[in-house]
Every structure is written in structure tokens, then in C-alpha cells.
Amino acid sequence: MDPAYTKQKLRELRSLVNDGDRIAILLQDDPDPDAMSSAMALRTLLGRNKLTTPIFSFTPVTRPENRTMVHLLEIEITPASTETLAEFDRIAMVDVEPPYFGPRIPRADIVIDHHPGYPSGNAPFEDVRVKYGSTATIMTEYLITDEQHISERLATALMYGIRSDTVMLSRRVTDDDWQAFMHLYPLANLSLLRQIDRPEFPLSFARVLSRAMARVSARDGLIVLHLGRVERDDLVVQLAELCLQFEGVDWVIVSGKLDGNLTIALRNHGGGRGNAGEIAKRLFGEIGSAGGHRDMARAVIPLRAWRRREGSTRDSTIEPRLRELFTAELPAQETADGRPSANGKSAS
């Protein structure tokens, strides 16, 4: 934390905004928790409400856990258009920078972000701290420095923002992120956070789950499950995470069909054999979007593209084909990797 610098930036920020100004806060497409919580914080910092300072995005929030956050914290996001934005006195953006939008924005006045790689000089006010794990950390620092009251709702949002950008404070996390997190912790509503973390399952998922669980078998530490049609794509992810908890399992592939796509979630314990993001790209990058981290990755493949390459999209063919593909990609499981039953060939 750098209170002197933050104080100076705060003065700069306030001198740019007049009392009567209407300010638009613009977020990246498909806004994430870091962006949404940072927008709420900027509004508080400027002493504004949702009427004088609405939050905009060009596309809606789609990820299920982010939608849960929007719903539980009652965050309103208005669809943006170039014309609508032009009507505002000031355009602010958090967790994103002007070049991201290109000609979609008429101009930019306030930019607060932590993403590296953008040139500076895009707006009269810029505060870009690339060392920080989240923009929510920068915003929390502003609020603390300004001795602002942080409401339970805002604290909950910011804590979730920091946590999700740093993957539970494990990736790209700095002392600043920790300090902000610790400051917010006693102020936040932890039971609300738990609800965001564990979205409700539709009851119909129980049947999908029971069919899938009956088929679970771990061969060489790998579980592969195809669920058929699913109602939401986070169900695929949640089941992949659950399967990773089985003894002796170090790799999980779960897939499901949704909206004309095959969604595939890849999970492993990290540090072991194979890099999930790279494998996803290698196997599916040519027929869909694929990528992620070493321990978690995903691929979304249009069913048409899958059929063209693999011949069939019948549910009964997808699971064995995925097993084939991943078995060929993964080096054999090592027995001395510290997991208790690494040599257990099958748990079925």
C-alpha cells in the first residue's frame, strides 16, 4: 500500500469530476467480479448513486457464479452503446483500458486498472498498477486511504473480486492484495460469499449426477465423464472439481452439451503430469476455443465442429473418445508422486 500516492491520485480524481456531472462506469464485456466490485467502489468513492453514476457493459454477464453475484448483491448493469455513453459528462472504466474498446467508446476520462500491456496516455486520469492481483485491491486501498465507510455489500463484493482474480489468493497475489483482503474480511457477509461460491443445482441435475456417478472409474488416475445435455455449464465444472477429490485421482475431464456446444472442463492437482491449458489448446484449439491454466482449463467446441472431426456427437461416443484423446496426451501416472493410491489402476 502506498497511502501518499493514493491520496494524491484521489485528489486528482476528484478535481476531474464536478458535482453535477453524470458519470458512466464502463466494464469489459461479460463483466467479472473484479470489474463489478471495482465499479461499486468507484461509485462510493465519488459519493454517487446508481442514478447519477450507472454501470455499463456492452455485453451481459454470462458466467453462472458471476450471475449469482449480480443477483445476490443486486448489481445493476445497463447495456452500453456508443451513443448512450456519449451523453455522459465523464466516462470512467475499471479493470479495463480504452484500447480494449476501440471505436466503441467516444472517449475515456477515468481509467483504473491492473492489466499490463496497454500504453498509457489514454485518459486524463489513469491509475494502472500492474503489480496488483486485482483492481478491487486498488479500490479497497482508495477507500481505506479516504477513510470511507465500506458497507457490508461493498466489502462482500470487493472480497469476492480479489479472491476470484487471484484464484483464492493463490495466483499473482501480492502483499497489497492480502492487506486489502484482510481489511475487508470482518466487514463482509461470509454466508453470502458461500452462496456465491456454491450456486444452487437445478433438481434435475440429481438424475444426471446419479447416472454419471454410477459410471465413474479412475484408470491411471484419470476420470473421464460425459454428462450429455446439461442445463448450465457450471455444472460441468462443479462435477469436475468433485471428481478430483476421489482417492488416487489426479486428472479429471468432464463434458456436457449446452446451446449447440460441447463444453469440456479439465482439472488436475497442478504441479503433476501435464499442463491442462496447453493440452486443451493442443487437442481442441483448432475446432473450438480452448485454454486455461496448468491445473484448470476448458474447451468449448461447436457440436458441428466436433462432428466434422470426430464423426459423431452421440453421447455414447463422446466419453470413450475423450478418454482416448487424454490417455494419449498424458504421460503415465508416477507412483512416487505422494498420492496415497497412485498405483490403483481402477476404482470402479
Q: Which is nearer to Mn ion, 95 or 319 (CB)?
A: 95
Q: How far is the CB of 303 from Mn ion (least distance, A)?
A: 32
Q: Which is nearer to Mn ion, 164 or 263 (CB)?
A: 164
Interior CA angle at 143 toward 141 and 149, to 5°? 145
Q: How far is the CB of 15 from Mn ion (least distance, A)?
A: 26
Candidate segments 104-112, 164-172, 198-206, 305-313, binder of Mn ion by CB under 5 A: 164-172
Burial per residue of 146-185, b for 16 or more beta-carbon CB atoms within 10 angstroms, e otherwise: eeeebeebbbbbbbbbbbbbbeebeeebbebbeebbebbe
For the four alpha carbons of 269, 274, 275 and 281, in that order, the dihedral sign comes to: negative
Q: How far is the CB of 142 from Mn ion (least distance, A)?
A: 15
The residue nearest Mn ion at its CB is 34
Under the binding rule (CB under 5 A), the answer on residue 113 touching Mn ion is no
The long-range contacts involving 58-65, CB below 8 angstroms and separated by at least 24 positions, are: 58/29, 58/101, 58/104, 59/29, 59/30, 60/30, 61/30, 61/31, 61/36, 62/30, 63/30, 63/32, 63/234, 64/199, 64/232, 64/233, 64/234, 65/196, 65/197, 65/199, 65/234
**What contacts 310, CB < 8 A, 6 or more positions away?**
317, 321
Q: How far is the CB of 172 from Mn ion (least distance, A)?
A: 10
Q: Which is nearer to Mn ion, 131 or 308 (CB)?
A: 131
Binding residues with Mn ion: total (CB under 5 A) = 4
Q: Which is nearer to Mn ion, 34 or 295 (CB)?
A: 34
Q: Which is nearer to Mn ion, 25 or 223 (CB)?
A: 25
Q: Which is nearer to Mn ion, 37 or 263 (CB)?
A: 37
Candidate segments 49-57, 157-165, 215-223, 319-327, binder of Mn ion by CB under 5 A: 157-165
Burial per residue of 306-340, b for 16 or more beta-carbon CB atoms within 10 angstroms, e otherwise: beeebeeeeeeebbebbbebbeeebeebeeeeebe
Q: How far is the CB of 165 from Mn ion (least distance, A)?
A: 4
Q: How far is the CB of 127 from Mn ion (least distance, A)?
A: 14
Interior CA angle at 227 toward 221 and 232, to 5°? 115
Q: How far is the CB of 158 from Mn ion (least distance, A)?
A: 12
Q: Which is nearer to Mn ion, 170 or 335 (CB)?
A: 170
Residue 215 φ then ψ, to 5°: -95, -5
Using CA atoms, how far apart are residues 239 and 339, in angstroms rounded to an integer?
Answer: 21
Encoded one letter per residue, x for contact with Mn ion by CB under 5 A and - for no contact, window 30-69 reads: ----x-----------------------------------
Encoded one letter per residue, x for contact with Mn ion by CB under 5 A and - for no contact, window 91-110 reads: ----x---------------
Encoded one letter per residue, x for contact with Mn ion by CB under 5 A and - for no contact, window 117-156 reads: ------------------x---------------------
Q: How far is the CB of 132 from Mn ion (least distance, A)?
A: 9
Under the binding rule (CB under 5 A), the answer on residue 165 touching Mn ion is yes
Burial environment of residue 198 by CB neighbours within 10 A (0 to 12, 13 to 18, 19 or more): exposed
Q: How far is the CB of 146 from Mn ion (least distance, A)?
A: 21
Under the binding rule (CB under 5 A), the answer on residue 177 touching Mn ion is no
Using CA atoms, how far apart are residues 181 and 242, in angstroms rounded to an integer?
Answer: 27
Q: Which is nearer to Mn ion, 37 or 261 (CB)?
A: 37
Q: Which is nearer to Mn ion, 30 or 278 (CB)?
A: 30
Residue 38 φ then ψ, to 5°: -65, -35
Q: Are β-strands 296-302 and 55-57 bridged in parallel, bridged antiparallel, or unpaired?
A: unpaired
Q: Give me the residues that bind Mn ion (CB under 5 A), please.
A: 34, 95, 135, 165
